[in-house]
Amino acid sequence: MTDLIFHIGLAKCASSTLQRQVFRHEEGFLGRAPGVFPELNLAGELLKCGPFVGRQTIDRRGLAQWADRVRHLKAECCPHSERLILSEEILSAASRLDDRPILKVLSLLRNQIWEEGRIQVVLVLRSQAMRLASSYAQNSNCSWEPGQLDFERSVARYLSSRRHLRLLDYSKWIDGLNAILGPDNVCPLLLEEARTLDFWRQLSKFCHLKKFEPSNMVHEDGGNENVRRRAENSWAIQPLDTIFRARSTTEKYLNLIWPAIIAPKARMRCVDWSVQTLDARYKRKANRMDTARRESEIELSRKVMETIRDACGPANDRLGEQLGRNLKPLGY
Q: 192 and 128 in one domain?
A: yes
Same domain, 186 and 264: no
Q: Are residues 196 and 253 in the same domain?
A: no
Do 158 and 275 fall into the same domain?
no
SS3 of residue 100 by DSSP: coil
Residue 251 belongs to what domain range? 242-293
DSSP 237: P
Listing DSSP states for 180-231 in one string gives HH-GGGEEEEEGGGTTSHHHHHHHHHHHT-SS--GGGG-STTTT---TTEEE
User: Residue 78's domain is classified under what CATH number?
Assistant: 3.40.50.300
pLDDT at position 211, please? Answer: 92
Q: Are both 221 and 285 inside the same structural domain? A: no
If asked whether residues 228 and 251 sit together in one domain, one would say no
Q: Within this chain, do residues 93 and 151 fall inside the same structural domain, yes or no?
A: yes
Quote the number of domains for the chain: 2
pLDDT of res. 219: 66
Provide the pLDDT for residue 293: 77
Q: Give the pLDDT score at 226.
A: 53
Give the integer Cα–Cα distance in Å for 228 and 247.
Answer: 21
Q: Are residues 130 and 183 in the same domain?
A: yes
pLDDT of residue 223: 46
Q: Phi, psi at residue 293, to the nearest 5°?
A: -80, -10
Task: Note whether 69 and 75 are within 8 A (CB).
Answer: no
pLDDT for 23 equals 95
How would you classify residue 209: left for phi > 0, otherwise alpha for psi between -120 and 50, otherwise beta? beta
Tens of pLDDT along 73-86? Answer: 999 989 999 999 99
pLDDT in tens, 44-64: 999 989 898 778 889 999 999
Query: H or E element: which one contains 60?
Result: helix 60-77
**The pLDDT value given to residue 33:** 87
Contact 126, 12 (CB under 8 A): yes
| pLDDT score of 10 | 96
Are 27 and 73 in a shared domain?
Answer: yes
286/306 same-domain check: no
Ranges of residues in the chain with a pLDDT under 70 are 219-228, 230
Q: Are residues 321 and 272 in the same domain?
A: no
Does residue 114 sit in the same domain as residue 220?
Answer: yes
pLDDT in tens, 211-244: 999 999 986 444 444 556 767 889 999 999 999 9
